[in-house]
């Protein structure tokens, strides 16, 4: 790996998020201060120095609110508290204060599409019965067919089951995810009022922003989904696209935007630069633009980079389509390769050292692109997705397979055996760590020049020096079919997805994702070069 040379250029005066690198923390798997095997807020606070050393600008915390943990906290039963599993409200305040002290912004998760079935609103809705105002906060409907035995629509949930569940009195309620996650009725004024109040509650405590879960899903058009002859209904935008299902009454309904205009004004009324970032798995970046109007979200996760396979053509398409889609708006792009819902990118690109080399190369290329990037905890260690034995698989989306648990295995910090410093003592974490992770711990990788951790530290430092403060332009250079080469300002970036070395353009090497680079770039490697303006 080649380290960054000097040549610092100060970022332009822009909102902090525009070119920020955000680090996603999945609290139950980051660090465990109390030794119960599950990560917690005090554990995060105790490890903030790792993030400051890494050089990220912000952290995004997946949910830590009271929850039965059926969907690991995305089933929220009280949006204004902290689940005892993760600590206390003072722990949250302490984390916020200490993160700010070391210069990190803090984004928290907001889950407005649904609550937990153990939320007091849902419990009351069940006992109040059909036609009651309590039921109207959710999407309860009578069924169809004789005795209402058929669900109100033909929808499938994202987790693969029917999206409606019948309750004892015969009515059905909608859940686009797990049946323990009933969807709220966003046409009900009390729902809107409740979430305004939740936003204020956390803004008052000092959070810098919210990642809005399922932002494209709050408002629905409750009618059957039309599917091509012989097809089956589906609610996963990627599957719908593959199967030619164009009808989409579940997502992206025009009325959802009113919610965000309201929130935008609320968030903007607070001092400092607070922000909203949408999680919206739309069919492509062109659909994201609607959420990025100047009076809605500041940012939206763009999953095109994550969805691209190891292919120069697919990576190029991701860049081009993203920039084209956003050009008519004032929003800047975002990029991400891994998160708590996806197979880790190291594993998506294959096995062994080659996959790791590719993962590092894709990361380095991403970090040169205009806009902001989001890292997922553990990718800076080069962690693979873990194939867990069936008895340890817990994800409700597992569908009998590995589900998302494989990217949620607790981080290895130090030592040569599980729990690798995840918590104090020898107590084992909630998901087992592979014994082979000895060389992947933070301690083992620190100071080792060829380690993935040192590579990430250098790449983020190089980004601050060379990749920030420019404009959004990406100028593609002539390159062989399996290679991407582009320029941003004085930086030339080359990514070799092919099987043979490729010649490099002129310029001084700033950093490479692999072995020091000569006149040619080896396969599975990316490089940044500094040339003339």
Q: How far does Cα 388 stand from its chain's mean position?
A: 22
What is d(CA 523, CA 353) in angstroms, rounded to the nearest whole number? 12
**What is the DSSP annotation of 345-403?**
HHHHT-SHHHHHHHHHHHHHHHHHSSSEEEEETTGGGTPPPP---GGG---TT-TTTTT
Q: Quick one: tokens of 89?
A: 């409200």
Minimum distance from residue 267 beta carbon to ligand NOJ (Å): 21
Min separation Cβ 425 and ligand NOJ, Å: 30
Work out the burial of residue 361: count CB atoms within 10 Å of its CB; fewer than 13 is exposed, 13-18 middle, 19 or more buried. buried
Closest CB to ligand NOJ among residues 19, 71: 71
Nearer to ligand NOJ, 329 or 394 (CB): 394
Q: How far is the CB of 177 from ligand NOJ (least distance, A)?
A: 4
Catalytic residue among 57, 181, 252, 279: 279
CB of residue 80 vs ligand NOJ: minimum separation in angstroms? 18
In the complex, which residue's CB is closest to ligand NOJ?
74
How near is the Cβ of 213 to ligand NOJ at its closest, in Å? Answer: 5
Q: Which is nearer to ligand NOJ, 114 or 141 (CB)?
A: 114
* Tokens matching residue 184: 């709220």
Q: State the catalytic residue, choosing from 40, 213, 248, 296.
A: 213
Residue 481: count other Cβ atoms within 10 Å of its Cβ.
9
CA dihedral (519, 521, 526, 532) in degrees, to 10, reads 30
Which residues of the shown chain bind ligand NOJ in the complex (CB under 6 A)?
71, 74, 111, 177, 213-214, 279, 340-341
Q: How far is the CB of 62 from ligand NOJ (least distance, A)?
A: 7
Choice between 39 and 489, CB closer to ligand NOJ:
39
DSSP class of 138? B
Comparing CB distances to ligand NOJ, the nearer of 181 and 208 is: 181
| DSSP summary character for residue 114 | B
Active-site residue flag, 279: yes
Nearest alpha-carbon partner for 299 in 65, 11, 57, 480: 57
Residue 227 bridge partners (DSSP):
none
Cβ proximity to ligand NOJ, 2 vs 24, nearer residue: 24
Dihedral (CA of 283, 233, 403, 351) sign: negative
Looking up tokens 């909608």, which residue turns up? 174
Catalytic residue set: 213, 279
């Amino acid at each position: 790996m080649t380290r960054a040379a000097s040549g610092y250029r100060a970022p332009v005066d822009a909102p902090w998020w525009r070119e920020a690198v955000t680090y996603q923390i999945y609290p139950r798997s980051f660090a465990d201060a109390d030794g119960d095997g599950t990560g917690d807020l005090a554990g995060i606070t105790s490890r903030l120095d790792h993030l400051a050393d890494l050089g990220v600008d912000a952290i995004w915390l997946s949910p830590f609110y009271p929850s039965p943990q059926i969907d690991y906290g995305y089933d929220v039963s009280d949006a204004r508290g902290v689940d005892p599993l993760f600590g206390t409200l003072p722990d949250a305040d302490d984390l916020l204060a200490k993160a700010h002290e070391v210069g990190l912004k803090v984004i928290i998760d907001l889950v407005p599409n649904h609550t937990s079935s153990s939320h007091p609103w849902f419990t009351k809705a069940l006992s109040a019965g059909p036609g009651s105002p309590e039921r109207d906060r959710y999407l309860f409907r009578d069924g169809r067919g004789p005795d209402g035995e058929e669900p109100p629509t033909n929808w499938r949930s994202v987790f693969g089951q029917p999206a409606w569940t019948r309750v004892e009195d015969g009515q059905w309620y909608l859940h686009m995810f797990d049946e323990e996650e009933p969807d709220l009725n966003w046409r009900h004024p009390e729902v809107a009022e409740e979430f305004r109040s939740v936003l204020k509650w956390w803004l008052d405590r000092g959070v810098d922003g919210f990642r809005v879960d399922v932002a494209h899903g709050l408002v629905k058009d409750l009618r059957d989904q039309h599917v091509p002859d012989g097809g089956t209904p589906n609610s996963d935008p990627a599957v719908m696209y593959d199967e030619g299902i164009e009808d989409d009454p579940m997502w992206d309904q025009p009325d959802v935007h009113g919610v965000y205009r309201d929130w935008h004004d609320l968030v903007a009324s607070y001092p400092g630069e607070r922000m909203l970032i949408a999680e919206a798995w739309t069919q492509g970046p062109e659909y994201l633009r609607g959420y990025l109007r100047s009076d809605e979200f500041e940012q939206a996760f763009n999953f095109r980079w994550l969805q691209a396979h190891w292919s120069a053509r697919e990576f190029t398409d991701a860049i081009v389509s993203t920039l084209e889609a956003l050009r008519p708006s004032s929003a800047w792009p975002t990029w991400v390769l891994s998160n708590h819902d996806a197979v880790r990118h190291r594993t998506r690109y294959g096995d062994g050292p080659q996959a790791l080399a590719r993962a590092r190369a894709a990361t380095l290329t991403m970090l040169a692109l205009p806009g902001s990037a989001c890292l997922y905890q553990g990718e800076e260690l080069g962690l693979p997705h873990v194939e867990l034995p069936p008895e340890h698989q817990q994800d409700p989306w597992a569908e009998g397979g590995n589900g998302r648990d494989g990217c949620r295995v607790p981080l290895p910090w130090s030592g040569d055996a599980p729990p690798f410093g995840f918590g104090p003592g020898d107590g084992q974490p909630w998901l087992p760590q592979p014994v082979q992770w000895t060389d992947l711990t933070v301690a083992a990788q620190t100071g080792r020049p060829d380690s993935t951790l040192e590579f990430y530290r250098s790449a983020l430092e190089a980004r601050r020096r060379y990749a920030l403060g420019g404009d959004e332009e990406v100028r593609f250079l002539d390159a062989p079919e399996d290679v991407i080469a582009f320029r941003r300002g004085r930086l030339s970036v080359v990514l070799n997805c092919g099987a043979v070395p490729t010649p490099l353009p002129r310029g001084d090497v700033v950093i490479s994702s692999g072995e020091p680079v000569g006149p040619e770039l080896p396969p599975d490697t990316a490089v940044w070069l500094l040339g003339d303006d």
